[in-house]
Structure 1
Amino acid sequence: MKLELRYMHFGFILSVILLFSLFPAHSFARLIIVEGDYDYPPYEFLDNGIPSGFNIDIIRAVAKAEALDIKINLRNWSNVVSDLKSGKCDVVTGMVKSEERSSFFDFSIPHNILSHSIFVHADSNIKQLEDLVHSEIIVQKSDIMHEYALKNFTQAKIVAVDSQGEAMLLLASREHDAALLGKLQTIFQLKRDGLTNIKSVGSGFGFGEYCFAVRKDDIKLLGQLNEGLNLIKKTGEYDEIYKKWFGIHERRNNFREIIYYVVLVLIPVILFLVGFIIWTWMLRKSVKQKTKELTLELHERNRAEEELKKAQGYLASVIDSMPSVLIGVDNNCNITHWNREAARVYESEHRDVIGFPLDLAVPQLAFEIDLVREALKTGKKQIDSKLRGYGNNRTVYQDMTIYPLVVNNIEGAVIRIDDITERLNFEQMVMQSEKMVSIGGLAAGMAHEINNPLAVIVGHAQNIQRRTSVDLVKNINMAEECGTSIDVIQTYMHERGITRMLNGILESGNRAAKIVMNMLSFSRKSDNVFNRQDIAAVLDRTLELASSDYDLKKEYDFKRIEIIREYEPGIPPVYCEENEIQQVFLNIFRNAAEAMSGKVYSTVGARFILRVRRASQMVRIEIEDNGPGMDEDTQKRIFEPFYTTKDVGKGTGLGLSVSYFIITDHHKGTFEVESMLGHWTRFIIKLPTTFD
């Protein structure tokens, strides 16, 4: 019986071993369903029905490295996103990471960086994102640009299609105005499909990390994907795949080859020297002397190499300390040098961009690549001045200069980019100040010349009213002497409209007198008393005053405006005349409220953002609204006397002119305006904390 039990145990164990030998552990592994876009070359697409592309090769390499059992399906992108949300698939091969998507999915470390661009007809007038506000925009359904367009172009018509290829064909047929698509993949498709009537305009935007996406909290699978990516990067397999699809060529490392030839040469030399020493014992002294000379020469050479390294380090420090962006490129426009300022401005380290094509590493410069090639071809310096863009919620201007180089038969170029925003703003401020000083003198002369005849007109009109009044006995007596009565005269004047005309003369005269007073205030320094004031408190009091102003409430209800305060603590008091500063703030609030009343808001309502913070020896006050904004011409003329965008009779055009002189002339401060048409306007006032 015991023997039979032993045989039974032995048979059971043998069966288990046989089972595991026939069905290895990985046969029980989970099947990973991988999905991607069927028409998104060169990243992922169907090549004669077979999944192909950079993303496909990457996920296959990762699956192999991690021993994952995967099945790849490429289909309509919106269905891919829906499948990942519902759990019908486990991994998406490529998705741009965003804050909104992170609430539904988890993302791996990035395996690429994507940028996007505006694509339009070849003869389109659209140049930049601001031109799309009221346009018809094509996007790929559920793409990151679909989310971007819905968020930023609420007044535009958004046309969502299934694929980027369909978007290009639709745009080529001129049915819509523009398309927001991935830059590299769309250019790839344009060349593939032979579409020559479409071009890319404006600077690249929407840069994002391109990652694997998994369902939320699928931590194990996410860890395997990240580990697999790191493994194929370390083994060099990632670089081979990248080179295959994007053509980035690795530099050849000839170090081992050099060592080989050095050893190949040195061994015979050493053998020869040993043999020579053995057979020339009599010449030992001369050999020692020669050896000493060679040692000294080697020492001198090492010293020269050290000096060269120091010189190279010094030059690198000089280049890195320069405030300009400096980028070196070779004859193929691949990056060879990258200084510290370039790393700061474009947020990419030296090691991440060296060897990459300029237009891929810095998409913002993709449209300047032809200018770089022109400099390389002609050997002449090329300049592109006052390049305009947006960054950190402000307009940025840059000068770009391209210097061609030929060193030791190696051709290349150095690209220098300087931020000239502050310089242009200063020049504009100086021009504005000089213009305002000239206009101030003219305004004073005009005011005095107008004041004298105006006093006569108003005075005589008032005298006519008094001498036809029933309240004066002398008027009654004189009317009776003339054979009539003062009541008859009053009736006649009323019936003939003379009374109304006199009231009109007085009303217009008083209005003109107020304009003259503003013009004189515009041209004269204030004699008011200056005191130290808490500028944040002054701003709040003015806002309170504006919200209770009757005329203003007729135009717009201040209670419907959201107020956001961003006051830096510990702001020093400002030496100023409170009434004048309140007049400036009130003018800004009034104009902004009236402007916002004419804008239709789809999501958020009207809003003021008030900021007070320290700026060196001054205090910086910002009043920002989310109204309709201003175009560039309006920004240049906004402080000119009598310049107004309001309807006739609603404004004199002097409010901001007087405010400008109060700040710059009376308080020795600065007054600027920044705006983005259709989005926001920001007035910036700087006041000194001390006043001489």
Structure 2
Amino acid sequence: MISFLLYKIEIRIEMKRGSRVMTKGWLGFGSLLYLYSAAASANLLNYFKEEDGSTKWQYVANFSSSILIITLSLVLIKLFISQRRLERVNRQLEQVRDGLEQRVRERTATLNGYNELLQETNSLLEGEIEQHRQTTTRLQSSEAYLYCIIESMPLVLIGLNRHNTISHWNRLAELASGVEREQALRHNLWEIYPAIPLSTTQLEAVLQRGKPETIKHCQRGHYYYDIMLFPLRQSEEEGVVILIDDVTQRKLSENRLIQRDKMASMGELASAMAHEMEVPLKEIVAAVKSATESLEGSGSHFEQTRQRLIEARERGEQAFTIMRNLLDFAREYGDNRHHIQMTALIDHTLELAASLIDEKSGVRFSDIETIRHYAVQLPTYPCYHSEMQYLFLTLFRHALCAIARVRREAFVPTLTVEVAFHYDALWLKIQHNGVGMSSDEQNTIFEPFYLDGESKLQDHSWQRLSLAYFIITEHHRGQIAVTSDINIGTTFHIELPLNSYHTH
């Protein structure tokens, strides 16, 4: 029995910590004990009986004390083993605790390092965020500033990409085209602004050359534009920037200054020429007059000579008249306007033209029948007297040249001058029945004329009236137009607003 108990102890010592292994050990020990007790119970009971059947209490006591001692020994051994196991477990737990504490300390140190690194990273990130915020603010400010500059530019600014799609469209572009910025962006330029004086070929040429180009676009007397094209090749996408500068006022001012300088120079030149011509003309006229008087009463042979001298004297007197007119032109020209009666100025100019203007073909202005239609009670007009007189002389000379070209029989040269007052303006119409102008001549009549080598011996100045056009449109803020027919004649229509003196 003791051996079985020892076997049980060894089994329990070697048992695993799992409950299933321990349960199997106890079941095996119980089964063995039951089999042994069943087989030995009869012998064991006989051992404690006397032959007469009485109980051997001494044996019972010894056996019980042995059993008790063995049980106590087993309990002590159990307690000792449990103590040893507990100490080993405690040591293992202490080792585990020390390991855990070390790992906790290491993890804590690592976490502290990570926390410090995270704080540094957060600080750097906050700094980056602040710099990004400042950069964003500066970029927004710069973008707003550039937008204000673009919108405030006194130029039409249009930005195009490589496919001629609009990327920029400022305020003046809206005013020029009548299309708002939101409607123009991301659309083709010629779909939005078909009237722009540019072609795709010009834009392609600028992109290929990679150099800015300036294009002049104008309609004489109405508008002048400088169109500047700038290629964009350094950006992510190629494109062109179009700047349209309305230089109409500047050009007109420059033209006015140039023409006024020309007029002033003409006045100085006229004065110098008149003074230079005065002395020899006086001597020529006096000599011709004396020779004419000495030939009076002579024979027929001298009559032809006398007629030639009379004609020479008339030409000399005509030269005197031209000289006096040049002096008047030089003396009266200035920066101040004078109120004049327009009909009186026209009458005086007609008289002057009759003595000054003639044609090489022999036709004189005095041979033209003059018809005048003047409205009554016409107001005075503030103008530059010498310029206006030059204007009428130029138109009368043009009429004489056109009349001299007529080859019709029974032709009566006629010049009609009409003056009326309507809508706060004087309306003048000067009409002649000479050879009219073609459509091309009407389109170029107010353009400057330049002589070439072949035509320098011919007088073509009457075919151009650019200075007359300038005097009317620029110095007097009026309008002049022409209508003509080859077989009927030509009519010049002039409008002179009375308020031009205040708006000049």
Higher helix share: 2
Name the TM-score, length of structure 2 as normaliser.
0.50
Higher strand share: 1
Larger Rg computed on CA atoms: 2
